[in-house]
Amino acid sequence: MRLGPAQAFLEERGRELAEIVAALLIYNVGGIAAGFFLLWGRETLLVHPEVLVLVPILQDLRGNMYSSLASRLSTLLHLGLMEPRALDPRLAGELALRLAAVLSMSLVVAVLGGAASAVLGYGFAFPEYLVLALGSSLLVFLILFPLTAVLSAATFRRGIDPDNTVSPLVQTLGDMITVPALFLVLFAAPIPQSWGVVALLAAVAAVPPMLVLARSGRRFAELVTALAVAVALSTATGLVLGANAETVLGEAGFIGIVPAFIGSCGALSSIVGAKLSTGLHTGTVPSRMVPSGEALGVAALTFLATPLIYTVVGVVGFYAAGFYALAPPGLAQYIAVSLLGGLILMAIAFLETYYIAVLSWLLGLDPDNTTIPLLTSIVDVEGILILIAVIKTLGYA
């Protein structure tokens, strides 16, 4: 019996679709956990909406910082330059380099966070943002650096490629612990101006010895430059979120779905970007302005996965808001917000992914190095804007 086009597509690529959905559901554990913590700290955020600006900035920074660490350790293991054990001597240099990057990026986050706060008319200034950024970053560093090293060594030792496992897992864990670390520093004590001065002096003084130990000023410059660009882009997300604090922090509890909502599109777009890049390299996706059949097949996989993922985000968000005794609209309405927003966002993101990848290729750039970093930062801003627009359009603000 001859199969129809839809049946033939599912027959051919059903397993690929199942792998994508499974990976996204696992990835969303981090976003859902971050949403729970944001709901838990909602009353604090209503008093200090300026802190909301830092959430997307710090989450993006964690993802980029420790995903790149996982990638670096995997490369060293594959090249035989590091032994698959948690206490390899090469780790000392990586620890120093990453710690120097954490200290430096905390200054960048504080500057951009303070500027965003001034634009929005909030009260926090540079010293307070520096204490929050530096304190939470060091807490996360103490957890994620050793964990990334152990996971990389353990997976490689067991014959599992760390590239396929450690980076997504570390990113998920980073999403889970970033918000609690931020609240822990905020709750620890009032933040006097003097703390900011002490934090600034300590951070500046500690960077040079870390670089001497790391013995890699060039790698530090490359890492910090890439992280600074990503932080600058994610500051736009923080600005949009801070400007719409009343909408997302309202009794409907939509703040709980923000991390998973934008994270799901970022993850889907990353998969699309990786597939398009591979296709451009292998020749199965031609570099033309009108998407080919193979590129449209990738789009079809994306749009088959999107409804399920965003329905799950809506269902979990609804029950999370109810758990915290808020007054969300009905379950169907919550799903409608997540699903409609997700479909609109994913349609835009696919076109952006395709044209960024193709234009990179035509300009002689490797799409592997350009598509995903650019896209995830762009999608964050668009995701917040679309989510807020859908909430207001459906009358749930």
Do 67 and 170 belong to one domain? yes
Do 232 and 255 belong to one domain? no
- pLDDT tens-place string over residues 100-131: 888 888 888 888 888 888 888 886 667 788 88
Q: What is the pLDDT of residue 190?
A: 61
Domain encompassing residue 230: 44-243
Whether 137 is covered by a domain: the verdict is: yes
Do 104 and 225 belong to one domain? yes
Q: What is the pLDDT of residue 340?
A: 95
Q: What is the pLDDT of residue 208?
A: 61
Which are the contacts of 8, defined by CB distance < 8 A and separation ≥ 6? none
Do 274 and 379 belong to one domain? yes
Do 230 and 342 belong to one domain? no
The closest of 376, 308, 304, 390 to 344, measured between CA atoms, is 390
Whether 34 is covered by a domain: the verdict is: no
Whether 25 is covered by a domain: the verdict is: no
Whether 389 is covered by a domain: the verdict is: yes
End-of-domain residue from the set 191, 225, 243: 243
Residue whose structure tokens are 């609804």: 318
Count of alpha carbons within 13 angstroms of residue 286, beta-carbon side? 6
Whether residue 318 contacts residue 335, with contact meaning beta carbons closer than 8 Å, is answered with yes
Do 92 and 178 belong to one domain? yes
Spatial distance between the Cα atoms of 110 and 129, rounded to a whole number of angstroms: 5
Q: What is the pLDDT of residue 210?
A: 55
Do 321 and 364 belong to one domain? yes
User: In this structure, what DSSP letter does residue 292 have?
Assistant: -
Spatial distance between the Cα atoms of 243 and 227, rounded to a whole number of angstroms: 24
Check residue 247 and give left, alpha or beta (phi > 0: left; psi -120 to 50: alpha): alpha
Spatial distance between the Cα atoms of 121 and 199, rounded to a whole number of angstroms: 24
Do 144 and 166 belong to one domain? yes
Q: What is the pLDDT of residue 170?
A: 80
Spatial distance between the Cα atoms of 224 and 60, rounded to a whole number of angstroms: 14
Q: Structurally, how many domains does the chain consist of? A: 2
End-of-domain residue from the set 243, 260, 294: 243
Do 262 and 386 belong to one domain? yes
Do 235 and 287 belong to one domain? no
Do 108 and 142 belong to one domain? yes
Q: Which two tokens stand for residue 298?
A: 């990738």
Q: What is the pLDDT of residue 313?
A: 92
Do 68 and 136 belong to one domain? yes
Q: Please report, for the domain that includes residue 359, its CATH number.
A: 1.10.357.20
- pLDDT tens-place string over residues 343-385: 999 999 888 888 888 888 888 877 765 666 677 778 888 898 9
Whether 29 is covered by a domain: the verdict is: no
Whether 65 is covered by a domain: the verdict is: yes
The H helix count followed by the E strand count for the chain is 13, 0
- Phi–psi pair at 45, nearest 5 degrees: -65, -30
3-state DSSP assignment of residue 224: helix
Q: Please report, for the domain that includes residue 72, its CATH number.
A: 1.10.357
Give the amino acid at 184. L
DSSP string, 258-288: HHHHHHHHHHHHHHHHHHHHHHHHHTSS---
List of the chain residues with pLDDT < 70:
1-13, 84-89, 123-125, 161, 163-165, 168, 189-217, 368-373
Whether 125 is covered by a domain: the verdict is: yes
End-of-domain residue from the set 178, 212, 243: 243
Whether 360 is covered by a domain: the verdict is: yes
